[in-house]
């Protein structure tokens, strides 16, 4: 394939220089610093993660707490299902891309095109690059994954107007073994006072840890549909959720008048 045509089939970074550094050296340094302060989890290699997707100055430490746990399985994981909410493009269902790769300043991540095509058989899955092009929810997770995994293929999914049951059905199809890592991208409550956000986010955290997906809605988490779908499937698989971090932008880089909540969780058979 000619180089110009190959380049046209790559999803370019949309928020480099905004949510995280555009310069690859600065970006790598920052990501490694965000990962570096996290102690490894000796008992459980995560099968799934929930991680936030704000700018690194706000939620990078919380995201680092999640992705640092993947280091122990770096040689095992070869495929990542990365799923998060659509913030910019309205559509029905769940969108898989048509491109061959997603690019960040750290390089290109190949898309598992065969699997993305196969899941098109689900009526609620659409094959479209449009929802992916401006979306930050998946993009900001990629430099962390590129830093902790040796090499991997990506199945990037953006959730539009969809039901948690549809997410769960799709995850059941895609979650085939230890080589697959599920990453759900979601922030928590938005634009409440610091104290109100703490109360709301604690409720959400407890619901996630108890697998109570019916307690979630858009007021609790922007990616609640994907989170709820994950909880449905982890409960079916007997996987427990373990909280890694919980805070809000008032704890990191913002004022405490109108904050956004962030949390990180890992799921594994022995998680407590």
- For residue 55, what is the domain's CATH number? 3.40.830.10
pLDDT band at 271 (very low <50, low <70, confident <90, very high): very low
Average pLDDT rounded to a whole number, residues 182-201: 98
pLDDT digits (tens, 9 = 90+) for 38-58: 655 555 679 999 999 999 999
Residue 251 has pLDDT above 60, yes or no: yes
pLDDT band at 268 (very low <50, low <70, confident <90, very high): confident
pLDDT digits (tens, 9 = 90+) for 116-165: 999 999 999 999 999 999 999 999 999 999 999 989 999 999 999 999 99
What's the predicted TM-score (pTM) here? Answer: 0.94
pLDDT digits (tens, 9 = 90+) for 66-100: 999 999 888 999 999 999 999 999 999 999 999 99
Query: Would you state the torsion angle of the CA atoms of residues 186, 86, 19, 52, taken in this order, to the nearest 10 degrees?
Result: 0
- What is the total count of domains within the chain? 1
Q: Is the backbone of residue 80 left (phi > 0), alpha (psi -120 to 50) or beta?
A: beta
118: part of which helix (H) or strand (E)?
A: helix 113-118
pLDDT band at 2 (very low <50, low <70, confident <90, very high): very low
What count of residues does the chain have? 272
CB burial of 29-67 (b: ≥16 within 10 Å; e: otherwise) equals ebbeebbeebeebeebbbbbbbbbbbbbebbbbbbbbbb
d(CA 75, CA 131): 31
Residue 212 has pLDDT above 80, yes or no: yes
Provide the residue range defining the domain that includes 159. Answer: 3-268
Nearest-Å Rg of the Cα atoms of the chain is 17
């Amino acid at each position: 394939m000619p180089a110009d045509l190959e380049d046209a089939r790559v999803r370019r970074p949309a928020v480099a220089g905004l949510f995280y550094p555009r310069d690859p050296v600065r970006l790598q340094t920052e990501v490694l610093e965000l990962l570096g302060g996290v102690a490894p989890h000796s008992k459980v290699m995560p099968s799934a993660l929930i991680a936030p997707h704000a700018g690194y100055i706000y939620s990078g430490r919380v995201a680092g707490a999640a992705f640092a746990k993947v280091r122990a399985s770096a040689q095992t994981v070869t495929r990542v299902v990365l799923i998060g909410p659509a913030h910019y493009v309205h559509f029905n269902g769940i969108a898989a891309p048509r491109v061959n790769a997603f690019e960040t300043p750290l390089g290109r991540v190949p898309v598992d095109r065969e699997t993305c095509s196969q899941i098109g058989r689900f009526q609620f899955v659409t094959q479209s690059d449009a929802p992916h092009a401006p979306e930050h929810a998946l993009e900001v997770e990629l430099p962390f994954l590129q830093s902790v995994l040796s090499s991997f293929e990506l199945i990037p999914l953006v959730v539009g107007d969809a039901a948690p049951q549809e997410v769960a059905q799709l995850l059941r199809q895609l979650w085939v073994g230890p080589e697959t890592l599920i990453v759900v991208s979601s922030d928590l409550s938005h634009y409440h006072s610091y104290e109100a956000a703490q109360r709301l986010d604690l409720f959400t955290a407890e619901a996630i840890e108890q697998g109570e997906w019916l307690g979630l809605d858009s007021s609790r988490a922007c990616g609640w549909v994907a989170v709820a779908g994950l909880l449905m499937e982890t409960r079916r698989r007997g996987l427990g959720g373990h909280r890694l971090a919980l805070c809000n932008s008032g704890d990191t880089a913002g004022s405490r008048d109108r904050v956004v909540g962030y949390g990180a969780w890992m799921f594994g058979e022995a998680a407590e």
